[in-house]
Amino acid sequence: MKRILVIFTGGTIGSKAEGKSINVHDSGSYALLEAYRNTDEVRKDVELSTLEPLNLLSENLTTEDWRTLAVAIRNADPGSYDGLIVTHGSDTLAYSAAMFSYLFAGGGVPIVFTASNYPIADRRANGLRNLAGAIDFVVEEALPGVFAVYENDRGEMLVYLGTRLAQCESFTDQFRSPYDLPYGVMEKRRFVWRDDVRNPRPDTLLGRLKVELSAPLPWEPENLSLDDSVLYIRPYPGLNYSLYDWSGRKPSAILHDLHHSGTATALPGGPYSLPAFIERCKAHGIDVYMSPLKDASAALYASSHALIEAGGVFLEGIGMEAALTKLIAVYGLASNAEQARTWMTEATFAYEKMGSGVDSEGAGTDEN
């Protein structure tokens, strides 16, 4: 008999619709589990336990809520279960999956995030199928790490690595991953790995249990700190950097998104100049990182070189959601800014990097 802990956090998968309003409901999460037990998908070889440390719509999620959830998971003793499933709102699921990949890097059991596109009572909802797929993944595969399981609009039950999930799209309600490359798919209730050089082989994940793991970000329940002063900026024509004023509280670090070609405005000066903004941030002791960038060793546009010369740091091969959550975790847990910079640029966790031949549990190996 497999033992799985189902952790409720609210979200659409734990919500109820009343008229034209959708909100979390005290009984919504448990109604999900009761509905699963009444489906043909229910497994008789699984014992499900429950925990509800949060009950909110995921758009209202804060770093303090992440802390609450992380401490609840740590205190629940994950190793005493065959796996954990976190039901979550779709709006911020990609961020949470990445965050918990960093906080629980090196964990020995699967932690699987899942969600629903509509409240469970809605006939269009995929939440029950997603829950069933997550349970099947835990029972049949038992791969260690953090994952997300979600059915797409073609009826495919896709499995993603937690650090390789992009935010749910506004118009399609679909999740994607860099290169449109999920980790695999559930077929006939079994996991089928997506064979690609950029995906770590399942036996690589299992092998992590037999070797000494690279140290994950160190934290204990009593000292877990996540930095809410990280700022994210997305480029667009006419972005006026003079609107950012550090006369009050300043950010500890900035993640500046990039256009698909790895560029952003590189005017030599003035309010629209990112190089000038980076230099101003440096004068205030603010680190500026830039992502995503596929390959820093490839030929770069002159504008990209200008950003580097100004002091910006490219985070290569990592998606925006993973880069942002890593910054929040690293700048909260590092003992000083220099250690934070080292962790951001030299330490890799949870297969965050998409480049071929790069093992995200130890940069530079060929295990991927």
Residue 93 burial (C-beta neighbours within 10 Å; 0-12, 13-18, 19+): buried
Cα 161 from Cα 155, distance rounded (Å) = 19
- Alpha helical stretches, state H, 85-185: 93-103, 127-141
Cα 58 from Cα 105, distance rounded (Å) = 23
Cα 70 from Cα 22, distance rounded (Å) = 26
172, 263, 265 from 148: Cα distances, Å: 18, 30, 35
Q: Which of 12, 87, 163, 263 is catalytic?
A: 12
- Catalytic, 12? Answer yes
Token output for 322:
């993973």
164, 198, 342, 365 from 348: Cα distances, Å: 13, 15, 10, 12
3-state SS, residue 200: coil
Chain mean position to CA 158: 15
- Alpha helical stretches, state H, 76-115: 93-103
Q: Determine contact, residues 291/319, Cβ cutoff 8 Å.
A: yes
Residue 279 burial (C-beta neighbours within 10 Å; 0-12, 13-18, 19+): middle
DSSP 8-state symbol, 201: P
Cα 153 from Cα 149, distance rounded (Å) = 13
Helix axes 93-103, 320-333, angle to 10 degrees: 50
Among all residues, which ones are annotated catalytic? 12
